[in-house]
Structures are given as C-alpha cells and as structure tokens.
Structure 1
Amino acid sequence: MGGEDLEAEIHPLKNDGGKWRGSPGARAGKSGGPRSPAPQPRLSRCRTAALFLSLFACLLVVFVVSFAVPCPDRPAPQGAWSVSYDSAVTYDFLATEDINRDRIQDVLFLYKSTKGSSHFNLSCADEGFSYPCTFVAAMSGANGSMLWERPAAQDGALVACAVPQPEGSGASACIIVGRPGPFVAVDSSTGQSLWNRPSGFGSNVSVLGPPLQVPDADADGAPDLLVLTHEEREVIGYVYSGSTGKQIGRGGCLGVDGTSGSLLHVTRAGAHYILLPCAHALCGCSVKGLYEKVTERDSALKKDALWEDMLSMLPGRLPRRSSGAVRHLMSVPGDAGEDLLLVSSEACVLLDGQDLAPRWTLSVAQVPRKPVLGHYKPDTLAVVIENGTGIDRQILLSDLSTGAVLWSQALPGLPGDPQSASLPTADHRSAFFFWGLCEPEGANQTEPRHARHSLYMLHPSLPGILLELVNVSANIVAFQVALFEPGRHAAFVLLTGPASPHTPGLVSVVKHKVRDLVPGSRVVRLAAGVPDSDQAIRDRFSRLRYRSEA
C-alpha cells in the first residue's frame, strides 16, 4: 500500500486542501489539477507573537502607571476626637462642610480666647481688632486637626456659610457680620479674606440674623446678601454684592417692627418675599420692592399679584393673625412648592405657601426651639415638635401633610438642651436625636441629676425604644448631627463652653461617631411588648445605614 493510501486509511476524514477526500475536487487535485496553497505556519506564528507582545505592552503600561502615580493621601477618620481651649468663650454657631476636599465633612465654629490663636501665628491686630477678639476656625472632621483660623470680629458675630461665589471661581464663602465689626467674606477652603467692608451699623443697631441669600441683582454671578437690622423700632434692609461686599444702594425700611427669625420665601409665581415674625402677625416685604427702594431703579425680579393684594390690605402685614405670639417660622416642602410652618405660643399651623390658607393646626403649650423635619414613615415627611419645657416637656412627631401625631413621648428637658436633630437612613426613614432627661421607670424625676444633658436616639422601626447614647454635664452651646462620610460615617459634634460670653472658661469641640456609642448605650424601654434583649436592640441600631439628603 502506498504512503498516501495508508494515510487515507488511518485518517479517513482528514481535510486535503480544504476538500474532503473522495470528493470530485480532491480527485481532480490528485490527478494533477491545481491545488490550494499549503498553510503558512510562519505567518501564523508571527501574528501570535504580535498579539502577545501587544498584551504585554498594555499590562506593562498599567503596572507602571499604578506604581508611579501615588494614591491620594486620604486619612482614615477617627471615630471620636476632642479639642479644647482654656480661658475662652464660644458662640452659638456650628457648621459642617467639606473644606479640604477629602470627602469628609469638616467643622466650622467661633471662639474668643484670652491667649489668642493657639495654632497659627496670628493676632487680633492683624485684622485691625483689639485684644481679645473673635476667631473663626475650621477643623478637620477626620482627626480634629486645625485647617485654618483667622480673626473675624471683635466680640461675637453672625455667620452664614456655604455661600457660592461667582461662577468659575470654584469658591464657597462664609459671610461674617461682626457685632460690632466689619462685614467679611472668607474663603471656606483656605480661610483667606475674599473681601472686607465696614458694616456702617451704629452702636445702637441690632442685627436680626445672619445674611440672607437673595437673587443676584447686580449680575456678578453670585447671590446678593441681605442684612436686616432693627433701628428705632423699625426693620431696615441692607443689600450687598455677594462677590465684592459693596453695598447696593442705601438702606431700605421694610415698614414693620419685626423680630429675628426672618425667612426668604418663594411663591408659586417665582416671586421672592422676606417674611419675619412681628408680634401676633406675619410681616412681609417684596424683594423686588426692596431692591427698587434702595437703588431707585427698576428691577427684573417678580412680584406676585396675590401677595401684593394681601400686603396692600394692611401695609407690611399679611392677613394671617396668630392666636399667640409668633415664635418660629420655617419653609417646608409642599405639594406644589414651598409651604410655611408657623409656630406660635399656642399652636403650630401649616400654611399654604401661596394663599396662606391653613392646612392643619396642632395645639401646643410652648415650643422653645425651632421644629425639625425628618421621615417617620418611608419617604413621608414628619415634623419634630418640642411641646412644653422642664418636666412637662413632650416630644411630638407629626405627619407634615396632615398634622396627625405619629409618635409622642414625655421627655423632661433641662435648661440649655440643644435643638433636636434627624439624619436620613437607608430605609428612607430617619434616625431622630433628642436631648433631655429620661429616668428609668419608677425613678423620682424631681430629684437633681447634676444637670446632665442626655442624648437619646430613636428609629421608627423600634418606636418603643430610646437609646441613651451619651451624658454631658458641660454647658452645650451648639450641637449638630451630620453624615461625615457618604453612606457610613454618621456622627455628631458638640460645642461646649461657658454659659456667659463674658466669663472665659474651658471651650471644647467634640466629635462622636454614632455607631461607636451604640455598644455602650443604655436601652430605655418606653412600653412593654418589645421581646428583644438589650444586646439584640443595640445590634439592630449598630446595623443602621445612613444616606445623604436627596
């Protein structure tokens, strides 16, 4: 048998030149016809080598870049830190903002120390103040290290932070109104002065609150700033450029005798109005009208015809009288824009944001602090109302849309207890934080407790449980709960110091991570029927996850 025949017998289906043996084409090739060229193994090997060389080159570039370019130095946040100042006083201002761009919220506050700046070589005289003066300071939320500080006012100040600067600058500012002192804008990231203007307020003039951000009238790319003052039983409005601090026009009288707690409200027609409590009424003024009064020229801003009709009935006052003295005023989300929550000495009333018609009324005895919003039911806003003071204090959580009370608990308070707070959780509800005094059942609540402020935590998934997180015996000046890192690092900051700004003492800024306090917390059972053990309840609170505001 020939070699070819033997090969065919061993491999009967072997492809010969792309055709099966035994086919007419194969026979033709055997008989001397043209045949397909044989494969070129050399070319195939070259292609394979080129492919592997390309892959090797890509991997080499990836590894070189990975090792050559260092990862950014992002410090791991500490669960708790504390910074103290001796012989100092502090003020009711506390804000959180990511100042150094490390994705961790940082802390801003005010203090005045007889020892001056303790971290930087700065003196009050550098900014034209006498000694001692008030410093504004920015502290790292990760570890409490000082990022920057600078003299800002002579004796106390009103501050508004997170004020955007002109587009393209990328800056955010803290606006500081000294009492007394100049009008200053400070870059939040660096502490450097953006502008510094004399306020021009007289010694007998009281400033009613931090600057309000109003629409940009001078077209400089930054919101303008409105400062309200009380002068000779009248409220005067001063408008300043947000980018330069230059006063726009002159002061304009609002024609009312109001108090602090002013609010910028936007009607459904897109018109801006300044609202402020004045005795048993609600006073208001069109921002457009104020601009035209102080500049004596037309403004492109809007007026709302319905609101102008209401204000014309009794100049400066809206036709909504309160049954008691107006204590607090706040904007809340509504079905078709902003609504208004008005808190008087006798009732809480939700007003329609357009025609001011009451949606619901809740009778209260006394509300010492501004209400707080949160979610008791998933994606349904509720309002936290502190009703009463001392041993008669009660915490109410009411549905914002109907006013129905969803949860209530007697929680005696102490003088100086901070405002309540809330923080959104991953289940689209909120964790609520209350300060007060909650003794175990059967304890005599009239007995002195050495003035300890206790912080309690509530989550709607366990409405019969309060978790006592921490006890504080120092005087609390300010308190804030924040999500220091997206999705995981919920913490609160306490600013404590002397009760009087004229008596220096120990000032402390303390941060606590909420999750770290849960294992050592005390479980307070508000009612029977919760079968879980204390440890099981703590474990449930430890597993809570938090989310950023939408």
Structure 2
Amino acid sequence: MMDSKDLEAEIHPLKNEDRKSQENLGSRLKSEENLQSTPPQSRLSRCRTVAFFLSLFICLFVVFVVSFIIPCPERPASQRMWRIDYNAAVTYDFLAMEDINRDRIQDVLFLYKNSNISSNSSQSCADEGLPSPCTFVAAVSGANGSLLWERPVAQDVALMKCSVPQPADSKASSACILVGRPGSLLAVDLFTGETLWSHSSSFGGDASVLSPLLQVPDVDGDGAPDLLLLSQEGKEINGYMYSGSTGHQIGPRGSLGVAGDSSPLLHVTRTGAHYILLPCASFLCGCSVQGLYEKVTGREGPFKKDPLWENMLNASSHGQLLRSSGAVRYLMNVPGKTGQDVLLVSSEACVLLDGQELTPKWTLRAAQVLRKPILGHFRPDTLAVVIENGTDFDRQILLLDLSSGALLWSQALPSLLGGPPSTSLPTADHRSAFFFWGLHELVGTNEMESREAQHSLYMFHPTLPGILLELANVSANIIAFDAVLFEPSRHAAYVLLTGPSSSDMPGLVSVTKHKVRDLVPGSRVVRLGDSGPDSDQAIKDRFSRLRYRSQV
C-alpha cells in the first residue's frame, strides 16, 4: 500500500519538484543569513592568518636568497706567522696598529732608515728631495705582512704619532704626524700614505724635541684636535702649538717657565683644566695649557685654569707642584674613581697621587723601577699596575692593586740589559694576560753575559698564579714589541721589531708577527713553587682556550 506522500508525488510530480526547489531555496537563504551573521572578528582572524603565512613565506624566501644565492663575503685569511726584512737598514722604537685596508684585521706601521729603494716600492729618497739615506714610513698588512703603502718622509724622525683625527670636511679621516730632523713637521694620510701637509719647524738649532707629541682640544675651531710640541733649549722648556689639520703654527713659541728635562704628560684635573706635567729633577713641575696659550697668542683660549692648582703654582717657584723623594723618572695618567690620577715613579719610590689634590694615595718605598709601568687586570674588572723593580739581573715583577697599592703577585725574572717592555691584553674573563721578557731558563750572570744569551717571552694569566709559559726565544736585538688583538675576540698575536743596536751601523731590520695561540703547544711550562697537580699538557690546553676582548 503506497504512502500518502508517494501517492501525492505520483499524482502531482511537478508540484513535488516545486516543493523541493522551495526547500533548497530556503536552505540557501538560511546559509546566506548565517554567513551574514558571521561576526567580524572571525573574518579578521582569517585575514591575520593569511598575513602571517604570507610574512613567513617572504622571510623564508629572503633567507633562501641570502643563504644560497647571494655569496657570503670571504673572511680574510690571517696567517699564523709572517716576517718581512730590510737589509742594510736601521729602525726606530715605534710600532702603531690600525686597520688600514679595512679588512677588520689590525695592520702594522713602523719606521726604518735605508738608502736603497724597497723591493716593494718604487719611491726613493730623491723623489721627496731628501738626501740618502732617509727615513721611510711603512704600513704592512696584519693578515699576511704584504706592503700596503710605503714612502720616504724625512732625513731622520724625532717623533711620530698616529690616529690623529682630521676635520669632517677633510679628504683624510685620520693622520700620522711626524716631527723630522732637521726641523720639519709632516702629516700623512693614515690609510694611503699621501702627504696632507708639510712645514718647516721653527725650533732652534740646539733644541731637543721632547717625547711624546701632545694632543690638545681644538683651538682654531676647525673640528680637529691640535698639537702641542715641547722642546728643551738649554735649561728652558718651550712650547709650540700647531693646527692638527693644517700644520700651521698657532702664535710664536712660549716658555713654560720650568726646567723640566723629559717625558711631558698632559693631565686633566677634575674641574676640566689642562696642565702639562714634567719631571724637574726631584720635583714635579707643571704649567697650565691656558697660561701657555695666553703667552703665545696674547688672548684667552678655550682652556680652563684650576684654582687649586694655580694656588699651588703661585706658592712655589719655577712651576714646582710637588717635591719627590728622589729624581722623578716616569709620569703616567691612570684611571681613578672620579677622574684621572697620576702615577709618579722616582728613583726611590712609586707613588699614586690624587689627580686633583696631588696627595699620595699609596707609596711603594725602596723602589728601583727599571722601566715605565703598565696596567692590566689581575682580578676581574680591577686594575693592577705592573712594576719592574730592581736592575736587569735582579729584576722582580710586582703586580699591585692600583687603588690600594697592595701586592697581588711577585716573581723574580732576570732579564738582559735593555730588554723589551712588558705588556698586557684583556681576556674574556675580565682579567688580563701579561707578557714579560726575561732570560731563557733564568740563567746565571756568567751565562747572561755570553753571546748565546737569549731574550725569552713569558706569558702569565692570574688564574694560574704558579705558572709561566715560555712562548719564544729571541737572540736578535729587539727594538720594539707589542701584544695585539688583531681581530676582535678572535686571535691575539705579538709583533716584534728587531734591528741593529746603533743607528751608525746598518744591518738587518725585521718585523715579525706570531699568533700567540699557535705558540702555546710548543711552549715550555715553568712552574713557580706551588703550581697545582695539572700536567703540562693540561696547562697548555688552558692557555690555548683563553679568549681575548677588545680594549674598552
């Protein structure tokens, strides 16, 4: 028996199709109503999803292009060791480091005097109108020792200072300033060696130029620091001011009114006043830069005077600020808690003076300091000063806490007469690696006087206080030495400049770079008393793992 609906469909088929159409239409209308009633947040969410995946696709595409299509720039290969030689030459105690060819590796500048044309250069002394032999400035790549530029600059060189900033509108961003003999002042572009300016100096014929060349704040308003050069003529110390960008002299010479004899120091007091400090026998002498500027120009300059220091100078004669317990030998600016302090080394004591009051903070008595102290970090972020005390053979290395003068470490380390200075490099643990020169195997006096005696380079790190690592032995005459971080956080190396001991006897001049880490495996472990249970190999591994950091 048929159902009533089926019967209806069979009797009225068109009516049934119409009903289905209406039902489908109703469903579509409900669907559209549902779509229209969909909240805006849902559509926004879908848009965000599309935007996210589109951004992700773009990022992945950029990464793909950079990683696989655009080639990465090649990192310059830095050789472990290189050496360059000059025959029949003499050299000077000068080394400077700067990234000259912009390859992110420090390069080396040095001076040598030669009558021959270098095999790597077509320039001769005659090209610059100089008699032969003359002095050349050379810049070589720190990566491989290749010559970057080289040029003759003077018959002889008294002073040289590099990395002197130039005005923003100048064609050079930095310069090397040279004081030549006889009487010349020259600036060369640090990066190309081209002459920026050259002038004859106005020194007297019997004048002796004092080292170093001082850099003072901009006087002539050209945006570059200016230069202050001191000379000794008889017993009088005279000052000359020059524009750092043009070399023109600013006013005539001016007398400092003191009888100093060596190593001037530019000191800034806590009030921002600039003063020149000089050793004057057993006195510390001084003169304000503002006072010197007023003498040579007859007008006020951009410098300040410190009332306390002016009172001290007015209360004494001949610019004497402080009496020392012995002849003043070295002066150094060192960091203090609120500004610069002054480390004064005399023939009898080493004293840290407050940079404002000039009162002693601590004193190391009975000192016979062999050479100018250096700074480093024995404890993390705590400055220490290295004192080489005694004579060459009786030398003691003393590490003192800079703020208190407390002894942190000491070691007897005899050296050859006139041995190279010590130096330090900051390490990643906020301490320093120290480099000392001494005798090979700490030989006796008789052996020290023999021709076979060698300079030995020792490395020390405060985390191993009972260990010295002997890195190298050198029998040549060492003129200059420095330890350098050639690439930030990558590799440390030392640079050695060797040559004849007399400027009257030309011979072989060599510049050598050695990567410190590559010297460690072949080094000799020297144990100092209680050195711990570690094997020699374990100690070398620890030195090999040292990481270095750039100076701050």
> Mapping of 1:204-223 within 5 angstroms?
204-223=206-225
Question: 2-side partners of 1:54 and 1:462: how far apart?
Answer: 53
Q: Structure 1 pair 379/125, CA: closer, same or farther in 2 (3 Å)? A: same
Give the 3-state SS of the residue equivalent to 2:430 in structure 1: coil
Question: 1-side partners of 2:308 and 2:54: how far apart?
Answer: 76
Cross-structure match for 1:488: 490
Question: 2-side partners of 1:177 and 1:32: how far apart?
Answer: 99
What is the letter of the counterpart of residue 93 of structure 1? Answer: F
Does residue 270 of structure 2 align to residue 268 of structure 1?
Answer: yes
> Mapping of 1:488-507 within 5 angstroms?
488-507=490-509
Give the 3-state SS of the residue equivalent to 1:413 in structure 2: coil
> Mapping of 1:385-464 within 5 angstroms?
385-437=387-439, 439=441, 444=444, 446-448=446-448, 450-464=452-466
What is the letter of the counterpart of residue 504 of structure 2? Answer: H
Does residue 150 of structure 2 align to residue 178 of structure 1?
Answer: no
> Mapping of 1:97-496 within 5 angstroms?
97-169=98-170, 171-437=173-439, 439=441, 444=444, 446-448=446-448, 450-496=452-498
Whether the 8 Å CA contact 1:285–1:316 is kept in 2: the answer is no
Give the 3-state SS of the residue equivalent to 1:511 in structure 2: strand
Cross-structure match for 2:43: none
Whether the 8 Å CA contact 2:100–2:107 is kept in 1: the answer is yes
Whether the 8 Å CA contact 1:342–1:349 is kept in 2: the answer is yes
Shift of 1:203: 2.8
Whether the 8 Å CA contact 1:439–1:445 is kept in 2: the answer is no
Cross-structure match for 2:11: none
What is the letter of the counterpart of residue 125 of structure 1? Answer: A
Cross-structure match for 1:35: 30
Q: Structure 1 pair 33/536, CA: closer, same or farther in 2 (3 Å)? A: closer
Shift of 1:64: 6.0
Give me the CA root mean square deviation: 2.7
Give the 3-state SS of the residue equivalent to 1:537 in structure 2: helix
- Find the structure with the greater CA-based Rg: 2
Shift of 1:98: 1.1
Shift of 1:377: 0.8
Cross-structure match for 1:83: 84
Shift of 1:322: 0.8
Shift of 1:315: 3.8
Cross-structure match for 2:8: none
Structure 2: segments with no counterpart, 5+ residues: 1-21, 36-48
Whether the 8 Å CA contact 1:116–1:132 is kept in 2: the answer is no
Shift of 1:210: 3.3
Question: 1-side partners of 2:28 and 2:203: how far apart?
Answer: 110
Give the 3-state SS of the residue equivalent to 1:202 in structure 2: coil
Q: Structure 1 pair 529/83, CA: closer, same or farther in 2 (3 Å)? A: closer
Q: Structure 1 pair 33/361, CA: closer, same or farther in 2 (3 Å)? A: closer
Question: 1-side partners of 2:152 and 2:124: how far apart?
Answer: 7
Q: Deviations over 1:151-184 (max 9, x none)?
A: 1110233101111111354611111001224201
Cross-structure match for 2:42: none
Q: Percent same amino acid at aligned positions? A: 69
Q: Structure 1 pair 65/377, CA: closer, same or farther in 2 (3 Å)? A: closer
Question: 1-side partners of 2:123 and 2:68: how far apart?
Answer: 41
Structure 1: segments with no counterpart, 5+ residues: 1-26, 40-47
Q: Deviations over 1:297-348 (max 9, x none)?
A: 1213211000000011124433311111111000000111000000001100
What is the letter of the counterpart of residue 152 of structure 2? Answer: P
Shift of 1:28: 9.0
Whether the 8 Å CA contact 1:454–1:468 is kept in 2: the answer is yes
Q: Structure 1 pair 535/238, CA: closer, same or farther in 2 (3 Å)? A: same
1:530 to 525, 529, 532: 532
Question: 2-side partners of 1:32 and 1:62: how far apart?
Answer: 49
The number of residues matched between the two structures is: 518
Shift of 1:86: 0.6
Q: Structure 1 pair 203/62, CA: closer, same or farther in 2 (3 Å)? A: same
Give the 3-state SS of the residue equivalent to 1:36 in structure 2: helix
Question: 2-side partners of 1:263 and 1:236: how far apart?
Answer: 14
Question: 2-side partners of 1:425 and 1:54: how far apart?
Answer: 42
Give the 3-state SS of the residue equivalent to 2:30 in structure 1: coil
Question: 1-side partners of 2:543 and 2:77: how far apart?
Answer: 23
Q: Deviations over 1:230-281 (max 9, x none)?
A: 1121000000001100000000000112122111100000000011111011
Further displaced range: 133-142 or 200-209: 200-209
Question: 2-side partners of 1:193 and 1:255: how far apart?
Answer: 35
Question: 2-side partners of 1:50 and 1:343: how far apart?
Answer: 70
Give the 3-state SS of the residue equivalent to 2:292 in structure 1: helix
Q: Structure 1 pair 331/274, CA: closer, same or farther in 2 (3 Å)? A: same
Further displaced range: 430-439 or 509-518: 430-439
Cross-structure match for 1:7: none
Shift of 1:117: 2.8
Cross-structure match for 1:22: none
Q: Structure 1 pair 507/232, CA: closer, same or farther in 2 (3 Å)? A: same
Whether the 8 Å CA contact 1:267–1:353 is kept in 2: the answer is yes
Cross-structure match for 1:9: none
Further displaced range: 191-200 or 133-142: 191-200
Further displaced range: 156-165 or 401-410: 156-165
Question: 2-side partners of 1:344 and 1:379: how far apart?
Answer: 28
Give the 3-state SS of the residue equivalent to 1:329 in structure 2: strand
Give the 3-state SS of the residue equivalent to 2:29 in structure 1: coil
